[in-house]
Amino acid sequence: MSVEQIATSLPIISGKSTPQHPLGPLTASEIKESSRLIKSAWPSDVNIQFKSITLQEPQKAELLHFLAAEHSGQATPTIERRSFVVYYLRNTDKLHEAVVSLSAGKVESNLRLGPNVHSNADGDEIIAVERIALEDEKVQAEIKKLQLPEGTVVISDPWIYGSDGINEGLFSDDKRMFQCFLYVRDPNNSSQADSNHYAMPLSISPVVSAETMRVTRIDILPTGIDNTIKEPSPYKVQPPNEYIHEAQELRTDLKPLNVVQPEGASFKVSNYSEQGHNIEWQKWTFKVGFNQREGMVLYDVHYDGRPLFYRLSLSDMNIPYADPRHPFHKKAAFDLGDAGAGIMANNLQLGCDCLGSIHYLSAVLNDDKGEPLDMPNCVCIHEQDNGIGWKHTNYRTGRAAVVRNRELVLQSIITVSNYEYILAFMFNQAGEVTYEVRATGILSTQPIDEGISVPFGTVVHPGVLAVHHQHIFSLRVDPMIDGPLNRVVYDEAHAMPRSDFNPHGVGYTVSETPITTSGGYDLDYDVNRTFKIQNSAIKNPINGKPVAYKIHAPPFQKMLADPQSYHHKRAEFADHNIYVTSYRDDELYAGGKYTNQSRGGTGVRSWADRKDDVQDQDIVVWVQFGINHVPRIEDFPVMPCEILKVSLKPVNFFERNPAIDVPPSTQTFNKSVLASVAHQQEVGEAVVGGDGECCVRESSKL
């Protein structure tokens, strides 16, 4: 009997785990049990390479009953606990996905996936590929031609190989591969492990097979204005361009800005399972989970007891590059599907990544051997002041009524080789939720001959080219606006024609159009097109309009690659601002479940093409946003944060401003000081005009 046949006829193995909440991330013991059950299905000499062991979320129909009972204080139904396991037989192309019943202690299903389906890279694998590329004799022979100064350290950056459909000998994207880009540390400071090697790229690019873990070919990169390839020749050492603090002349006139909450934070954190957390803050309640691919996931989001969202997560991102030359034409990263936002999450540091009164959440994921992997401090929770929330001054009396806009922030930071993404869900007191992405880190660079420029990139340092690229994100919104059956509509503003009623031609109206079938839809700023998620069955008691949340998303240039290109085929979400699909349990990732060297046809564009009925149904809304990053020299050696935000805001959901009951902003509460004399004051003393209640007294007395 073959090992594949053994795996599809697995015995029930005892070892039931402690009951957990159906939405609770897997515990360390559940990860180990899942790994054990998978390994036990194979002969003992079979080496398993685990890619992901994560929660198999229950069917939504089951969970809605569970959550309804939980919220009403009734007994909750029993839901079987399962894990979803993705693994290879190590050093083969035999990729499997399995569902493990942790409740029953058995493997329920095990499927070997077909050709052109590849899983994500893992940390141990990346490190191994780096080493293999640099130890290869042929690679060393090419490096020798550069005549690098003695002691120079060469660095390898493995990239997911990408797809171009070419299958000719060594130039094949059928098998899982890594394309390695080589750099050197500053030869004059080669012992500095944090030296910015991206300022010193080389023209040698080994390709490593993920199956054999050997170099299969060596590409020589074009460094001119066209496809011309030149043999490696003596390397000209350029001046370094470092980002680390000790390499700078730091400013000396910056004084401390401390975020102090003397009575502690206003939010509450509790556990709904061993690894899952409940958050309560300013009428908001929701659950926080964490997994290998998406990182932070929010479930069961309510405001003031009313349901808003069943599930919120960053579903996908794609970064296609603009250089059309081999091998750069394949360069298009899917950072979540190719690696994982969870597994790449930073260990956040107090006072560095998060300021104020901080609560950290940690997680447990898995390594390639199926063992638990601790992810400490991968989410930080804190409050921040974001200016004025609302204000009005009665000019007749001079009295000002004003409140501050306090926000709750849940933040995670991921490092994807050279790039960092700071990812945050932000809640305010007016019933609004924002998803924010801050892109920073270091540009992905490549060598360029001195004295030339190309139209698809920017020279950011002598001999260093940063190619234009796009960052396209997809936020998955599983709405539950006052109930599970929702619709998406869009408003448009149009000028009234001149008439007896509108003789001066100044009138305009707003019309509303429902989306009835699944598909991709776009913003149109010329008519102020605004998408809203509605519950048409629930009407606002004041104006009779359906309760809704509108989507505020920034404009972005859609995927620039040709529609027939693999870039376009693979990033199925990158061609529309909004996708609306009918809900299906296994459709979580806009680019498809397996993005590594994918071919397309398994993501949100394909699901939308079903043309399902999405009017007053259980729907999913996919919100795309991004930037076309045309690098500036100011983006190097490290990039100032580029900030993107998507907001979900109530429309006719409340009977008035939901932040009307926020306490007033007062000097007694805020304890601000006058900058000109602040240094003269003792700790804890405040300097104000008037009696300290300036924010609610007559403005003429401030």
Same domain membership, residue 63 and residue 131: no
Residue 46 lies in a domain: yes
Taking Cα atoms as reference points, which of 123, 600, 538 lies closest to residue 307? 538
Given 112, 135, 161, the domain boundary residue is: 112
DSSP 575: T
The average pLDDT across 348-367 equals 95
Mark out the alpha helices in 302-396 (DSSP H runs): 335-338
Q: Which residue range forms the structural domain that includes residue 627? A: 275-500+517-559+612-651
Do both 211 and 64 map to the same domain? no
Tracing tokens 């009665």 back to the chain, one arrives at: 394
**Residue of 300, 335, 618, 635 marked active site:** 335
Q: Are 476 and 633 in contact (CB under 8 A)?
A: no
One domain, residues 231 and 326 = no
**Peptide bond just before 447 cis, omega within 30 deg:** no
- Rounded to an integer, the average pLDDT of 564-587 is 98
The mean of the pLDDT values for the chain is: 94
- The answer to whether residue 376 is domain-embedded is yes
Q: What DSSP string runs through 335-358? A: HHHHT-TTTTB----BTTTB-SS-
Look at residue 7 in the predicted model and tell me its pLDDT.
Answer: 37
Residue that terminates a domain, selected from 198, 224, 242:
242
Q: What is the pLDDT of residues 475-512, one digit of tens each?
A: 999 999 999 999 999 999 999 999 999 999 999 999 99
Residues 432 and 481 in one domain: yes
Of 1, 96, 10, 19, the residue nearest 51 (C-alpha): 96
Q: Is the pLDDT reported for residue 12 higher than 50?
A: no
Q: What percent of the chain has pLDDT over 70?
A: 94
Does 223 share its domain with 287?
Answer: no
Tokens of 514: 């429902």
CB count in 10 Å sphere of residue 433: 24
Does residue 486 share a domain with residue 380?
yes
Residue 33 lies in a domain: yes
Q: Are 619 and 583 in contact (CB under 8 A)?
A: yes
Q: Active-site residue among 310, 419, 435, 490?
A: 419
Picking from 4-13, 232-241, 439-448, which range would have the lowest pLDDT averaged per residue? 4-13
> Does one domain contain both 66 and 150?
no
Residue 616 located in a structural domain:
yes
| pTM score | 0.94
Average pLDDT over residues 83-111: 97
Q: Are 17 and 24 in contact (CB under 8 A)?
A: no
Is the dihedral angle over the CA atoms 246, 247, 251, 252 positive or is it negative?
Answer: positive
CB 441 within 8 A of CB 319: no
In total, how many domains does the chain have? 3
Q: Is 419 a catalytic residue?
A: yes
User: In this structure, are 343 and 451 located in the same domain?
Assistant: yes
Given phi > 0 = left and psi -120 to 50 = alpha, else beta, which region is 213?
Answer: left
Beta-bridged to residue 109, according to DSSP, are: 99
Residue 140 forms part of a structural domain: yes
Is residue 551 pLDDT above 50, yes or no? yes
Say whether both 534 and 631 belong to one domain: yes
Whether residue 669 lies inside any domain: the answer is no
Provide the percentage of residues in the chain whose pLDDT is more than 90.
92
Q: Which residues contact 142 (CB under 8 A, 6 or more apart)?
A: 204, 218, 220, 232
Which CATH number is 52's domain given? 3.10.450.40
Distances (CA, A) of 288 to 253, 300, 623: 40, 9, 20
Distance from C-alpha of 587 to C-alpha of 70, rounded to nearest angstrom: 25
Dig out the tokens for 150 from the structure.
């003695």
Q: Are 352 and 412 part of one and the same domain? A: yes
Give the tens place of pLDDT for each residue, 509-541.
Answer: 999 999 999 999 999 999 999 999 999 999 999
Q: Does residue 88 have an active-site annotation?
A: no
Answer with the one of 89, 112, 135 that is the final residue of a domain: 112
**pLDDT band per the 50, 70, 90 thresholds, residue 676:** confident
Q: Express each pLDDT in 56-79 by its tens digit.
A: 999 999 999 999 999 999 999 999
User: Hey, what are 667's tokens?
Assistant: 């000097």
Q: Are residues 479 and 372 in the same domain?
A: yes
First to last CA, the chain: 86
In a domain, 694, yes or no: no
* Rounded Cα–Cα distance for residues 255 and 277 (Å): 36
**Residue 575 belongs to some domain of the structure:** no
Shared domain for 49 and 145, answered yes or no, is no
Tell me the average pLDDT across 199-204: 98
The pLDDT tens digits for 99-133 are 999 999 999 999 999 999 999 999 999 999 999 99
